[in-house]
Amino acid sequence: MTAQAPQLVRRRGTAIACVALVAGMVAMSFAAVPLYRLFCQVTGFGGTTQRAEAVAGPVLDRVMAVRFDANVGAGLPWDFRPVDRQVELKVGEQGQAVYRATNRSDRPTTGTATFNVSPPLAGAYFVKIECFCFTEQTLAPGQSVDMPVVFYVDPAIAEDSDVKNLATITLSYTFYPVEQPARISQADAATSETAQQPH
C-alpha cells in the first residue's frame, strides 16, 4: 500500500459523509413543514387554531368577544368580509360566524384560506368544528356565497395564567388564489351554484 492510500481512503470517507449529510438535510427540509404544522396544531403556536368534531367540556359563565377579520391576497378577484364583525359568547359555548365571498370576475375562480388567531397564545384554545378554510372554495362568475365557521373557546383557557383574563380574540382569514384547483365537474359546479343563495 502506498503512502497515498490512507489519504485516499480518508478523502472517500469524507466525501461519503458529506453526501450523507446533504441527503439528510434535504430529507429534513421536506419533513420540516409537516412537523412544524403538527407542532403549531398541537400547541397553538403562532395563533394556529384547534379542530374538534363537537363542543367538549363545560360552559363557563365568563363571556368572551370574538372579532372577525377578512383579507384577500393579490391575484384573487374577490370581495371577502365577515357578515358580523363581532360576536359575544360564553367560554365553552358553540358559536357561529358567517363570512361572505363574492367573485367579481367574469370567470370561475378558486381560493384557499389561511387563518390565525390573535393574540397568538389564544390559538391553543380556539377550536373550530366546521370551517370553509378546510377545503378550497370555487365561485362562479359574479357568485356570492355565505361561508360559516362553527367554533368554541376551550374552557381550559381559564386555567392558563397567560390568557385567563383575555376578553377578546380576533379570528383572521386571508384568501389566496389557487392556480390549479382540484377538479370539479360542471354538474358539481352547477349544483353548488344552485344550492348557494346569491346576496
pLDDT in tens, the chain (199 residues): 555 666 776 777 777 767 776 666 655 544 444 443 444 444 444 445 576 666 777 999 999 999 999 999 999 999 999 999 999 999 999 999 999 999 999 999 999 999 999 999 999 999 999 999 999 999 999 999 999 999 999 999 999 999 989 999 999 999 999 987 665 434 344 444 444 444 4
- Residue 182 is predicted with a pLDDT of 60
Give residues with Cβ within 8 angstroms of 132, minimum separation 6.
99, 113, 147, 148, 149
Cα distances (angstroms) measured from residue 83 to each of 10, 50, 53, 86: 68, 23, 24, 9
Q: What is residue 48's three-state secondary structure?
A: coil
Q: How far apart are alpha carbons 26 and 133 in whole angstroms?
A: 30
C-alpha distances out from residue 10 to 5, 7, 14, 17, Å:
9, 5, 6, 10
Q: In what order do the strands lie in the sheet with 95-103?
A: 50-51, 126-131, 144-153, 95-103, 78-82
Amino acid letter, residue 32? A
Handedness of CA 138, 42, 120, 154 (dihedral sign): positive
pTM comes to 0.66
- CA 88/CA 4 separation, integer angstroms: 78
Q: How far apart are CA 82 and CA 71, in angstroms?
A: 10
Indicate if the alpha-carbon torsion angle 87, 62, 127, 39 is positive or negative: positive
Which three cell numbers, joined as nine digits, stand for 182? 382540484
